[in-house]
Structure 1
């Protein structure tokens, strides 16, 4: 029972956690609309990017779509010598390292296009595009609620034709490009206050587009009024025959952020189900540790059975008497030892060694009467003879030994 106790406790804990998670899981009817800014391709809430991701598939019907989880330029996703591809990066924060910027530059120079839409970036990208990204009404934390304030996004003519401005009544969360270098970049769009939020750069045979209002690609913005045209006009800059469109998931992962951001453990713990899994694992580890800490029984040492010292003493004394030649004395002690054995084991207290003694001992011991008679005769001889030869002593010893072997 004690051995099974840890397993019983573990099973009860796991069952409790499962019941707890099922009880807390909201039903589809009771789920509230999330206003969290995720820009996730699977998120159908207002500030997810599900509409953008699906619209890309329809806008480039002949393109092959891929999801990138590795560093830019990884041959498993991008190919060995890619050309004419479109790499789409839509993230709240874009924090590339120097080597990742180098990979993007090499990718662009080979004749590919990169579209980056982000609210916040680091100096690595700013140095390359020669412009600073300034935030407007945006905090570098996971804030669920922003004050609703109609946001506007405008595009330039040319290259775009028709309607220039697009707006919606949701969050006004945007950034703008400050002090951009017009010698290497071209401004293609503006934000709420007329600040540049969309530029184009050319590097080698490819193109880089940097956009700082990714909320304009959220589900809410694109589905409001005719704002889907904003998406269509921007992505009309890329050839409709683009062979491959790659959606980025690499830079949205914790490792791509700089050191002052939350670490991977904090990122996992934000998710309710991951947090429940981590806490369950820690609880099981604690239970295992506590059960294994209990005092175990020490190893029981092997104790050898005690030797028969009395038998060893008898043998030693017998050898001593035999070597001294005192056969009669030794025979008397052997006969006394034999009679003591008969009294202690078979409870026969005979005064004389007669026929009744022989029959009773034979009956109780199972030894033949003839052997017992020989022993009785030899014992009588010891008591009556003045001298006892070594031959007679050896014969007595053999008969007594035969008696013990046949008991």
Structure 2
């Protein structure tokens, strides 16, 4: 690659790097998606509410992150009563979850549900219908107030970030209307906060149709009194926060998805990938010298040993060969059986027979022969052959 090509490639790389830095450094657009998650600090998350719930809870706030059917099975109905909080844009529960909630309230517990829509078995059981007013004042400013004269000062005007929903049918026999909503002119009012008694043990459903009132946006924009008043109607019980049935529920199906949804990790991944591509481009252009083939060293130990043995044998130095075979055999015993070979006495013979799986007679025979050979200064070829036979016979089980 010539000098001009390298300069051009460096320039392209610098431009790409600057674009990446600009993308990372630019201000993030405000995220207005419906979340209602306890972990989200975006306008329509419920981070603020979740961290203030201890004020209304009798004990630590519990958090559910799985199916309500599975979670509520772990709740002991004989323990102190609890309040389950379900806040989301729309609540559409499975049949199992709905039945679990109904059974939960039937045991005397409380469910607070704030949603613009309710569907399925739970809606049918409560004989309830929630409507979004698309034709009149769907997203227009509206008042949310309470039916109790004592709470009249907590009437709140929601000017923006609102979708007006209200209750159009309810079970009048078991239901008490606690709050209403009305247009800015206060010409019409509709129920938007009710209490429905359920079961024989004092359980209740609290249904509210303005989940936006509990989001970070409104709680941090001087509308917190309304939300606090709504929660004050609930009994003082330990609260269970449902963080599973949420529009903003975190869903991660793969490590790569997790990386790409985290801005810092995403750009680290992109920069690493770009660097790898540059490395391949530049490294691929280089010419590598031929690597010489280095032959593996041969193991000539066996040939060397055989040659040395033949030299001893040709010169008739049987005594030297016998001394080395005895020395090697004793080293074998020390290494294999961990025996001290200094004194080749009766105790040594018994231990050797026991550890080598040979009979005591065989062990005594070879030790006696070793002592016999060590007592001589001159040896014959027949003694060398006999020693080799005895060693091979003794070690046959260990070779």
Question: TM-score, normalization: structure 2?
Answer: 0.52
The one-character-per-residue Cα deviations of 1:355-381 (angstroms, maximum 9, x if unpaired) are: xxxxxxxxxxxxxxxxxxxxxxxxxxx
Equivalent position of 2:114 in the other structure? 117
Report deviation, 1:124.
Answer: 2.3
What stretches of structure 1 move > 6 A for 4+ residues in a row? 19-22, 268-271, 274-277
> Please, which of 207, 213, 234 is the counterpart of residue 210 of structure 2?
213
Is this contact kept in 2: 1:174–1:214, CA < 8 A?
A: no
Q: Answer yes or no: is the 8 Å Cα contact 1:133–1:175 preserved in 2.
A: yes
> How far apart in 2 are the matches of 1:132 and 1:169?
25
Give the counterpart of 2:157 among 159, 167, 180.
167
| Cα distance in structure 2, aligned partners of 1:23 and 1:46 | 27
Matched, 1:249 2:243: yes
In the superposition, relative to structure 1, how do residues 235 and 64 fare at CA in structure 2: closer, same or farther (>3 Å)? same
2: CA distance between counterparts of 1:20 and 1:250?
Answer: 40
State whether residues 115 and 208 of structure 2, in contact with CA within 8 Å, keep that contact through their aligned partners in structure 1: yes
- In the alignment, does 2:233 pair up with 1:232? no
Q: Size of the alignment, in residue pairs?
A: 243
Tell me the TM-score normalized by structure 1: 0.51
How far 1:129 moved relative to its partner?
A: 1.4
Select which of 193, 198, 201 maps to 1:198: 193
Matched residue, 1:396: none
Q: Deviations over 1:108-137 (max 9, x none)?
A: 111211100111221322211112111135
Partner of 1:48: 45
Q: Gapped runs of 5+ residues in structure 2?
A: 1-16, 184-188, 274-399
Q: Which residue of 2 aligns with 1:102?
A: 99
Q: Which of 128, 131, 134 is the equivalent residue of 1:134?
A: 131
* 2:178 pairs with one of 184, 188, 207: 188
CA distances 1:85-113 after superposition (whole Å, capped 9, x unpaired): 01101011200122222111110111211
Could you report, residue by residue, the CA deviation over 1:319-341 in whole angstroms, capped at 9, with x for unpaired residues?
A: xxxxxxxxxxxxxxxxxxxxxxx
SS in 1 for 2:88: strand
Specify the alignment match of 2:261 in structure 1. Answer: 273
Pairwise CA RMSD: 4.1
Q: Distance in 1 between matches of 2:117 and 2:175?
A: 19
* Cα distance change on mapping 1:162 and 1:148 into 2, 3 Å: closer
- 2:66 paired residue number: 70
Residues 1:92 and 2:89 are matched in the alignment:
yes
Contact kept, 8 Å, 2:35 with 2:247, in 1: the verdict is no
| CA distance in structure 1 between the partners assigned to 2:111 and 2:235 by the alignment | 13
CA distance in 2, matches of 1:134, 1:253: 19
- Native 8 Å contact 1:157 1:164 kept in 2: no
Aligned partners of 1:20 and 1:182: how far apart in 2? 65
Residue 145 of structure 2 is aligned with which of 137, 151, 154?
154
Superposed displacement of residue 271, structure 1: 11
Task: List per-residue Cα deviations over 1:293-324 (Å, max 9, x = no partner).
Answer: xxxxxxxxxxxxxxxxxxxxxxxxxxxxxxxx
SS of the aligned residue for 1:163 comes to helix
Residues 154 and 225 in structure 2, CA contact (< 8 A), matched pair in contact too:
no
Rounded Cα–Cα distance in structure 2 between residues aligned with 1:92 and 1:162:
27
| Counterparts in 2 of 1:271 and 1:248: CA distance versus 1, 3 Å | farther
> Retained in 2: the 8 A contact 1:174–1:213?
yes
Matched with 1:39 is 36
SS in 1 for 2:89: strand
Contact 2:144 2:158 survives alignment (8 Å): no
1:79 pairs, out of 75, 79, 83, with 75
Partner of 2:296: none
- Asked whether the equivalents of residues 185 and 200 of structure 1 are also in contact (C-alpha less than 8 Å), the reply is yes
8 Å CA contact 1:70, 1:250 repeated in 2: yes
Q: For the Cα contact (< 8 Å) 1:133–1:176, is it kept in 2?
A: yes
